[in-house]
Amino acid sequence: MDFDPLRPFRRQSALSAGITAKQLRGPAYKLVLPGTYVAAAKVVTPATRAAAALLPYDDVAWATHASAARVYDLPIPTIALEHVSVPRAGQRRRHAGVKVHVGGKVTTRVVNGIRVSEPRMLFVEMASLVGLVDLVVLGDAMVRRNLVTAAALVAWCADVAHPAARAARQAAAYVRAGVDSPMESRLRMLIVLAGLPEPAVNLEVRDEVGQMIRKYDLSYPAVRVAVEYNGKVHVVTTEAWESDLERRGAIDDDEWRLLPVISAGVYAKPHETLRRIHRVLLARGLDGVPLRLDDAWRAHFPGHADAA
């Protein structure tokens, strides 16, 4: 193939194409991974980094784990290394910045020009890198993007042979359709892991003629309680403020109780969020609400003052 500096290339390929070591260190090129470069004008995307990681493996490897998730543009925590898989152990070779796995015979697909793990296998792979809540966030996003269905994910995880299969099965059981954002996934998992009944996801409230008049992120329609993640702490326009007041007035007229939750209510003060939801559900008489919250949530929402 002709040398194309807009695609990741190895140092030896550049030297063979007449580019000197001094030029590689200059402003015309930038390092993508150790020993792998691209033209400075090229915007380095997740697909660029994955392509760089795959270069040493002569087309036998594919992007997996965090690298594949980033190529799909799925929500995962920051993970430093690139991950690739090869069919057999004898094809593994160490390269700085790249974690190499043995993937056997698996189904792959091409996304943004990169060969990657298919979504169901990617979910299982990620179970070896992230915890329960982050894995549910990933699964909800996969379903939202129509990459897989929740039922297909459960079925796949039940049968797959993989060291992380057990963790994947646990997370797949919590994956739901219709979740609009990662923070909604986190908030739902906080509620469920505390032992509270699972709320309905994105309930649509309709009028007498069937027109949708409002939608709740998470709700308990039997007792008219809604829990909503609010990413906008401050109302930025008069129109938004007026619309919010009108919506709250309509909610009050229907005798719904709205419990808004902001970022701090998930990351910094989840215990306060849980106590508030617990108190309201008990007061409204929802069936199945325990008198005491389960402590299982604490291991998955660490770093707050009430974690001990």
What's phi and psi for 40, nearest 5 deg?
-60, -30
H or E element: which one contains 165?
helix 165-172
pTM to 2 decimal places? 0.89
Out of 143, 172, 201, a domain closes at: 172
Do 251 and 293 lie in one domain? The reply is yes
Classify the C-alpha dihedral 193-198-203-208 as positive or negative. negative
Out of 172, 201, 220, a domain closes at: 172
Q: What one-character-per-residue DSSP string does 53-100 give?
A: HHGGGTT--EE-HHHHHHHHT-------SEEEEESSGGG---BTTEEE
**Would you write out the chain's pLDDT as a tens digit for each of its 308 residues?**
578 999 999 999 999 999 999 999 999 999 999 999 999 999 999 999 999 999 999 889 999 999 999 999 999 999 989 999 999 888 888 899 999 999 877 889 999 999 999 999 999 999 999 999 999 999 999 999 999 999 999 999 999 999 999 999 999 999 999 999 999 999 999 999 999 999 999 998 887 888 888 899 999 999 999 999 986 544 444 455 444 544 554 455 578 999 999 999 999 999 999 999 999 999 999 999 999 999 999 999 975 545 44
Out of 110, 143, 172, a domain closes at: 172
- Based on the structure, what is the number of domains in the chain? 2
Nearest 5°: CA angle at 126, between 105 and 88?
25
Parent domain of 229: 182-300
Residue 205 covered by a domain: yes
Residue 10 covered by a domain: no
Do 192 and 167 lie in one domain? The reply is no
Residue 267 covered by a domain: yes
- Distance (Å) of CA 211 to CA 68, 180, 184, 224, 255: 40, 20, 24, 19, 19
